[in-house]
Structure 1
Amino acid sequence: MITRFHQHTLNGVFMDDNASPHGDRFVRAQLKEVEVSHIDWPAMSPDLDPVEHVWSMLKQRLDDHTPPQSDLAELHEALVE
């Protein structure tokens, strides 16, 4: 996954929030191997994490959609409207 991330976002930055999977030796080795830039990020700080705002907006979009989605196609349609 890290290699794929790096291929698609050559100038991307990995925001390390100290989650336990990020500390795994394999993950650390992959980050070092592909030379992904990273920022040490405070743990448990969703207010500082941009992706949390995106998840919140997507959730709100789904909550506002009536009727609720019943399959993957409807979910996709509701998210891209």
Structure 2
Amino acid sequence: MKAGSHWARDRRDRVWRCRGECSAACNILQHDRFGGGSVMVWGGISLGGRTALHVLARGSLTAIRYRDEILRPLVRPYAGAVSPGFLLMQDNARPHVAGVCQQFLQDEGTDAMDWPARSPDLNPIEHIWDIMSRSIHQRHVAPQTVQELADALVQVWEEIPQETIRHLIRSMPRRFREVIQARGGHTHY
């Protein structure tokens, strides 16, 4: 299981185009945005399901918040429901690797996968975040407030087909092989 993303509403224009296609004016989608704001979310995925998308209240995600708002109420019950062989996949963000969180996982008997630094392309949840971002940006009416953005993210999360999640998770061995063949270099993932 893996997740966590930060969604910002800024004043930048987004350009969506196919690989090799230039930044033609017809590909630029402009939005009038309010003065900013962001939404931080966390969600977990597995072959058999997903957690609810958790929208974190304002403020930074500290190790204590991660333990108390994510690990304890979301990961622990999900791990118990999945199987005794549950393995948590999380990146090396400071709150994830902090001693208080590592101790909590150890006390709970939850194993966490070792994860290489700077390797988001290997993580299937990053592709889920990309799917969600594209879905939000393709809406006819863009979210105008932080609450509308949070609501839209929850809706998009729930609409992602489980088969898409399974496909991304099952692609991990191929991703790892390609990274090894590229000796840690870039891959098409």
TM-score (norm 2): 0.37
Where is the helix percentage greater, Structure 1 or Structure 2?
1
Q: Greater shift after overlay, 41-50 or 65-74?
A: 65-74
**Are the structure 2 counterparts of residues 20 and 64 from structure 1 closer, same or farther at C-alpha, using a change threshold of 3 Å?**
same
> Helix, strand or coil: the match of 2:113?
strand
Q: Which residue pairs with 2:72 in the alignment?
A: 3
Which of the pair has more CA radius of gyration?
A: 2
1:32-47 maps to which residues of 2 (within 5 A)? 32-47=106-121
Tell me, which stretches of 5 or more residues in structure 1 are unaligned?
Answer: none
Q: Which residue pairs with 2:138 in the alignment?
A: 64
Residues 10-47 of structure 1 show CA distances to partners (whole Å, capped at 9, x for unaligned) of 23421243322222111111010111121101111111
Contact 2:92 2:115 (C-alpha < 8 Å) held by counterparts: yes
Contact 2:132 2:153 (C-alpha < 8 Å) held by counterparts: no
Distance of 1:46 and 1:34 partners within structure 2: 26
**Are the structure 2 counterparts of residues 29 and 57 from structure 1 closer, same or farther at C-alpha, using a change threshold of 3 Å?**
same
Q: Which residue pairs with 1:75 in the alignment?
A: 152
Structure ranking higher on relative contact order (CA contacts 8 Å, 6+ apart): 1
Distance of 2:109 and 2:154 partners within structure 1: 37
Structure 1 letter corresponding to 2:72:
T
Structure 2 letter corresponding to 1:36:
T
Distance of 1:2 and 1:14 partners within structure 2: 10
Q: Tell me the matched-pair count.
A: 81
> Helix, strand or coil: the match of 1:9?
helix
RMSD: 2.3
Contact 1:16 1:38 (C-alpha < 8 Å) held by counterparts: yes
**Identity among equivalent pairs (%):** 25
Structure 2 letter corresponding to 1:21:
P
Q: Which residue pairs with 2:128 in the alignment?
A: 54
Tell me, which stretches of 5 or more residues in structure 2 are unaligned?
Answer: 1-69, 160-189
Distance of 2:141 and 2:109 partners within structure 1: 46
TM-score (norm 1): 0.78
Contact 1:13 1:38 (C-alpha < 8 Å) held by counterparts: yes
**Are the structure 2 counterparts of residues 76 and 53 from structure 1 closer, same or farther at C-alpha, using a change threshold of 3 Å?**
closer
Q: Which runs of 4+ in 1 moved over 4 A?
A: none
